[in-house]
Structure formats: structure tokens, C-alpha cells
Chain A
Amino acid sequence: MATPAKEFAGGAGNTVIGPSILISGKLTGDEDLTVRGRVEGELTLTNTLIVEPSGVVKANVAVKNAIVSGVVVGNINATESVELTKEGRMVGDIHSPRVIIVDGASFRGRVDMGEVEPGRVPSERPARPLLRPAVRAVAPPKPAAPRPAEEKAKPAIKPVPPPPPPAARAEGKAPPAGAKPPVPPAPPLLAEAGKKKVVVKKKAK
């Protein structure tokens, strides 16, 4: 679908959130995402998240790779790697088979280098204070004879459904406006467009 040529070079497959932009809510996608502004809520990507020095991500994140040069507050699950560069600052837990923290980066939270299921957003639990005794000396108390399958299903699994292709949605189905998950409390927006939420339903053509 050709659009009239525009001056902006919207490089295919790369999304950029500019420095003045605030997104609050849920963001999913299959391409790289560069954050120079601010993203709050939940972020699920099958590719790489790049948080540039001006970028702030206050969200739970499920990605393939994350490169953090800005600020991340929240937990990151990455199926491949997480790198905090020398400007990176993060508070939260990292779950990824490869974790790289460069000198100069600052980090507070847990690191778990176990395998990660793709697309699984870390649970909402905020980064808790780290006041635990030694390593894995004490295993957490387990319920009597848990079967492995049960155990695995226990942590707050929140499978994120793959985004339906836009074309399929446009074919006349009304969007499930009622099924919208609550958006986390948003900070005051730049414009006080205090209007209602999306109410207009798509009519079947």
C-alpha cells in the first residue's frame, strides 16, 4: 500500500519513540524498538529493545535482546541477552541467559541466567529490597509433593497473545473494546485531553 512519499524516513522494521513522546499502556511488536522518550506499562517484543540515554522505560519487559543505555525500572525477561551499557541504569530483575553489565552501569535487582520462555512478561512484582540471607541455602517451602507440571505452572504466567494481524481485524469485526485490560495509572498527559476512552466501534462495512 503505497503512501505518498514523505520527508520522514520511516525505516522499515524499526520503531523509534522520540524524546518527547510518552506511551503508557501495552506495547507489542515484532521489530526492534528504540526508546528515546518514555514508555510505561508493559512491553513485549520478539526482537531487540534499545533504551537510549534519554529513554525511560518503566515497564515489565519481555524481549529477545535488551540494550539499556537509559533508565529501566521494571523487570526484564530476555530470551537472549540483556546488556547494561556504561550509561545504563536499572532497578528491577533480569532474567536472561546472557547478562552483561559494563563498568559504569548501575543496577539494583536480581539476575537469573536461566532459560527464558519467549514472550513471557515478567510478573508485576516490583523490585523488592534485597534483604535476603545467603544464596540458595534455604529452598522456599514447597507444598507437599508438588508435581513438576504444577510447579511450573505456578509463577504468574501471563501469556501475551500474539498481536492479530491488522488486516484480519479490519475485516469488519468490532474491536473488543470491553475486554481492554486496565491501563496502569498514567501520569498527567501533556495535553489535558480529558475525553473519554475509545468508544467508537468499528461498524461492519
Chain B
Amino acid sequence: MAQGEQIGIIGKGITIKGSLTGAGDLVVEGRVEGQIALKNHLTIESTGKVQADIRAEELTINGEASGNIDASSKVAINASARVAGDVKAPRVVIEDGAVFNGSIEMEVKLPDDI
């Protein structure tokens, strides 16, 4: 079960309340409320709605997400996404058209004389 290649899908009709953990990739097309902790890649499809604090390696959002996000590599908030929450990741991308309200925390290397 803990294989990295494993891909789980939470289909459109499914609602999960509670906490969700795992090691594989996960695609959410339905609803999740609670918490998500994933070792790999989480994708929230445009039909997906997630109200949860999320931890993952990488997160791609095309749908709705609210909650705090902590990703160890990257968060991509795509054009169709609506996201509210605080995002912490080394790389965060917001596409034109995306709706995002919240804070973003990346490492910012500033010049010394600022």
C-alpha cells in the first residue's frame, strides 16, 4: 500500500470527513473535510472541495481549498482554483485567474542592505 506509485482517487460523489494520511499520490475530485497528510503529491481537481489543513510534498489545486497548507516542495494554485488559507512551501505558484486569500511563506533571499 505504501508504494510511491500508488494513486488514490476520491471520486466526485465521495465526501470524507476526518483525517486522511498516506504515502501515495492522491487526487481529490470529491470533498474532504478534516485533515490531509500525504507523503507525495495531492491534486485537488476542479470538482474537488477540500476544507482541511493539508500537508503534502507537492500540491496542485484546480478546485477549492480552505485551510492551512504546508508543502515540502511546491504548491501550484491554478487558474480555476479558489484557495483561502496560509500557505507555506519553498515554491508557490499562483496562476492568473486564481483566487487566493491568505498568506504565503516562502524563503525570500533579500539583498544584505535592505
Residues of A that sit less than 8 Å from B by CB: 56, 58, 71, 73, 81, 89-91, 98-104, 106-114, 130, 132, 134-136, 187
For the complex, what is the distance from the CA of A135 to the CA of B106, rounded to whole Å?
18
Q: Which of B85, B103, B104, B111 sits near A71, CB closer than 8 Å?
A: B111
A134-B67, A135-B68 as given contacts; A106 in contact with B86, CB under 8 Å: no
Tell which of A101, A103, A113, A135 touches B86, judged by Cβ atoms closer than 8 Å: A135
B110 and A100: CB pair below 8 A?
no
Cβ of B105: which chain A residues have Cβ within 8 Å of it? 108, 130
Q: B84 within 8 Å of A by Cβ?
A: yes
As a 0/1 sequence over residues 77 to 94 of chain B, the CB contacts with chain A under 8 angstroms (1 = contact) are: 000000011101001111
Query: How many Å lie between the Cα of A134 and that of B67 in the bound state?
Result: 6
Q: How far is the CA of A76 from the CA of B105 in the complex (A)?
A: 16
What is the total of A-B residue contacts with beta carbons within 8 Å?
A: 81
- List 6 A–B pairs whose Cβ atoms lie within 8 Å, in order of A's numbering: A103-B76, A106-B106, A108-B108, A111-B103, A113-B99, A130-B88
Would you call B53 an interface residue if the criterion is a C-beta within 8 Å of the partner chain's C-beta atoms? yes
Q: Could you tell me if A71 and B114 are in contact, using CB atoms closer than 8 angstroms?
A: yes
Q: Contacts of A107 on B, CB cut-off 8 Å?
A: 92, 104, 106, 108
B residues near A (Cβ < 8 Å) are 53, 66-68, 74, 76, 84-86, 88, 91-97, 99-111, 113-114
| A135:B66 contact, CB within 8 angstroms | yes
**5 pairs of A and B residues whose beta carbons are closest in the complex:** A101-B94, A106-B108, A110-B103, A130-B103, A106-B106
A103 engages B104 (CB within 8 Å) = no
B58: min CB distance to chain A, Å:
12
- Indicate if the CB atoms of B108 and A89 lie closer than 8 Å: yes
Q: Find B104's partner among A73, A98, A108, A132 (CB 8 Å cutoff).
A: A108
Q: Give chain A residues whose Cβ lies under 8 Å from the Cβ of B76.
A: 103
Residues on the B chain within 8 Å of A102, using CB: 93
Cα separation A13 to B69 with both chains bound (whole Å): 43
